[in-house]
Structure 1
């Protein structure tokens, strides 16, 4: 019989794999998802059996699928292309005098109809009375066909596109689970080893969903803030990002060096996805434009910090005295995204001081006074935050930064998936 792992939606088994955990399945979970409390009571002797499972919410899995390139948009496009080819293929068969029922069913099938039917099919396809009952129509028959040609896994059995589509259809599902109890019991995996570590033994160089997106920034302070806030704001995504470590080997920082790093990574044909984040100040915006003009490969994403609300009306100090102005694009380093509490001294916002003229940008550069103290105060305040909801309310500008970065990674992953899917279609 062999030993299997399974992806489940609540208690519904969706797909299985024999003798190992596919990388695509492993990439949907992180070690914090391990469910150590669940035990199965279906043993013949009535004794409870320890299980080995990873479990995450439906919303979390949908977000992770997007980071892996299986966004809703790319899945819709994949489904539409599959349905078009299905109709053409069976239409040709019908012209030759056979397969009329399937051809007619293919013409009647729509994305909305597929979504409407899928939850009931998934909930009943393995029920005991389902094996003996007659399909209600040809669409139902094709959706329940598990021969490998069925219409349920339209992109192939166990593909992330098919999984995404099924999960989108099952709006009432609360949890997605990877159950690998049988594989652990059979000795294929060590119950004490992290799933990702075990799964990486079979990672292929050409496609590695287990490799996180590397975040680069202008300096160590930016990286420290990104590293500290990800587990609090997005704990379900901590395994999907890693961070460039300036401090480990005393790597130089600054916008100019970040541009140089990007050139070096591109020249070295580094295949990992990475995102370089420039500051939203004069030098950062100027360097961002320079980096954007480079012929970088699609796995390297270039961006700058998005405009933030705090910087729209911010006190400044310069030769012309004190003024409140919009410093987005001129002086919005990461410190201006850390919240009013960290930015304040004696109940007043620390002002931005203009530091010099940047000839290439034809504008002045500024930075907040005491920015080291701002970062220190922020990290201290962050440690006092009790939950994600409090952090979101307190650091709205940082949430905006993270949403900006996550959306860029999702878009890049989606584009990569579309390119790979298109190449595959051409090959066949």
Structure 2
């Protein structure tokens, strides 16, 4: 039988950012991986501390997940300002801006903040107001807080608070602890409390060819292991249906027409064909859940050997010949000099299309050596950072 009441808490260090009781709580599984379950301290009255199972993850490994859940800095601003707009007219005007609140959390010293000593039966707003009046906050929060301000912060999404606390490098190696054991042992949870990511939080990555997706999928857990469970790829075991920019354009047109609900990121090469496809798709009314991403420019390709009608030159091939293979470690490949060969002329863009010579060999060497100490993943890390920024821009809090 359940007890009289069990608390469940989410805390960063000793600062509680969310809590619930019995059946009434927010499930914070999206912030963690199933493997994050470990023993952690539970603090009770009279200085009692017990070690019990909890989900524990460093804030630096939670922040990328918050970004994909819709809590980028811009997403936090939107959530804060939307909360301000929802304040009833009969309440006093909220005078604390998002930037003021952000600056306060960015500089606060969590070593001086301890909310676990406060009574769980605080009135609405009293808990947040007490926290924000802690000496650690006062210097950065010049406005006098009212009861109504406390109520607002009490109801502010905990993920906004966490993301802003992550702006302080001193907080990134602090443990975020989700203390779930009391509600589990109290009988308030049927089955396991940990839930897999909802489909609404995931992103489908679509590329111009099957090898592109295969490379991205293999690199993801190596360069962005904190969020690899947020990304899905087209199944490569069957015939890949979207090969080439022409078919990819038609695919996007079809998605727009049927108003697909999934969050989709379409990755286009940074070459002439990719530019032409981007122009065509840009003229369509694409729904907000479909985002188009062109591969980023590479500094190494601003002066790269090229072969064409004018012979061998050194040219900037960004926007004309940069495909996924260009982000591989080109030290692993043919012994001959690396170069781009110009092929056909694209009249839509008014430029020649180029292709990295022996790109199949670079791909083969990638799969043979990726993960080894000598293989350079820096360009793939840059590429995935670029794609994840696009995902974060598309994400909205659920």
TM-score by length of 1: 0.73
1:13: how far off?
A: 3.3
Which residue does the alignment assign to 1:376? 364
Residue 355, structure 1, aligned to residue 343, structure 2: yes
* Contact 2:105/2:161 (<8 A) preserved: no
Partner Cα distance (2:259, 2:157) in 1:
30
Secondary structure of residue in 2 paired with 1:124 = coil
Partner Cα distance (2:357, 2:55) in 1:
46
Secondary structure of residue in 1 paired with 2:370 = helix
* Contact 2:272/2:351 (<8 A) preserved: yes
Partner Cα distance (2:178, 2:364) in 1:
40
RMSD between superposed Cα atoms in Å: 4.2
1:240: how far off?
A: 1.7
Partner Cα distance (1:86, 1:143) in 2:
22
* Contact 1:355/1:364 (<8 A) preserved: yes
Secondary structure of residue in 2 paired with 1:177 = strand
Residue 61, structure 1, aligned to residue 23, structure 2: no
* Contact 2:17/2:161 (<8 A) preserved: no
Which residue does the alignment assign to 1:289? 279
* Contact 1:274/1:301 (<8 A) preserved: yes
Query: Which of residues 117, 122, 134 is equivalent to 1:127?
Result: 117
Which residue does the alignment assign to 2:387? 405
Q: Which runs of 5+ in 1 are unaligned?
A: 93-102, 421-428
1:298: how far off?
A: 0.6
1:15-414 aligned at under 5 Å gives the runs: 15-17=18-20, 18-19=22-23, 22=26, 25-32=28-35, 34-36=36-38, 38=40, 50-51=52-53, 53-76=54-77, 78-79=79-80, 89-91=90-92, 111=101, 115=105, 123-127=113-117, 140=130, 151=150, 154=153, 156=155, 158-165=157-164, 168=167, 171-172=170-171, 174-185=174-185, 186=187, 188=189, 190=191, 195-197=194-196, 200=198, 208=200, 211-342=201-332, 344-346=333-335, 348-385=336-373, 394-413=376-395
Secondary structure of residue in 1 paired with 2:343 = strand
* Contact 1:309/1:397 (<8 A) preserved: no
**Inter-CA distance 142–361: structure 2 relative to 1 (3 Å threshold):** closer
Partner Cα distance (1:350, 1:110) in 2:
52
Partner Cα distance (1:20, 1:82) in 2:
21
* Contact 2:14/2:115 (<8 A) preserved: no
* Contact 1:318/1:354 (<8 A) preserved: yes
Partner Cα distance (2:267, 2:106) in 1:
42
Partner Cα distance (1:256, 1:116) in 2:
47
Partner Cα distance (2:320, 2:348) in 1:
13
Partner Cα distance (1:177, 1:150) in 2:
27
Partner Cα distance (1:88, 1:79) in 2:
17
1:85: how far off?
A: 7.9
* Contact 2:15/2:115 (<8 A) preserved: no
Which of the pair is proportionally richer in helix? Answer: 1
Partner Cα distance (2:191, 2:78) in 1:
39
**Inter-CA distance 124–131: structure 2 relative to 1 (3 Å threshold):** farther
1:117: how far off?
A: 9.9
Which residue does the alignment assign to 1:97? none
**Inter-CA distance 21–223: structure 2 relative to 1 (3 Å threshold):** farther
Residue 5, structure 1, aligned to residue 8, structure 2: yes
Partner Cα distance (2:29, 2:191) in 1:
15
Larger deviation: 116-125 or 253-262? 116-125
1:29: how far off?
A: 1.8
Larger deviation: 394-403 or 253-262? 394-403
* Contact 1:119/1:169 (<8 A) preserved: no
**Inter-CA distance 223–153: structure 2 relative to 1 (3 Å threshold):** farther
**Inter-CA distance 398–123: structure 2 relative to 1 (3 Å threshold):** same
Secondary structure of residue in 2 paired with 1:126 = coil
Could you give the per-residue CA deviations for residues 187-214 of structure 1, whole angstroms, max 9, x where no partner exists?
72545x8x333x75xx8xxxx3xx3111
**Inter-CA distance 243–253: structure 2 relative to 1 (3 Å threshold):** same
**Inter-CA distance 124–363: structure 2 relative to 1 (3 Å threshold):** closer
* Contact 1:155/1:161 (<8 A) preserved: no
Larger deviation: 61-70 or 244-253? 244-253
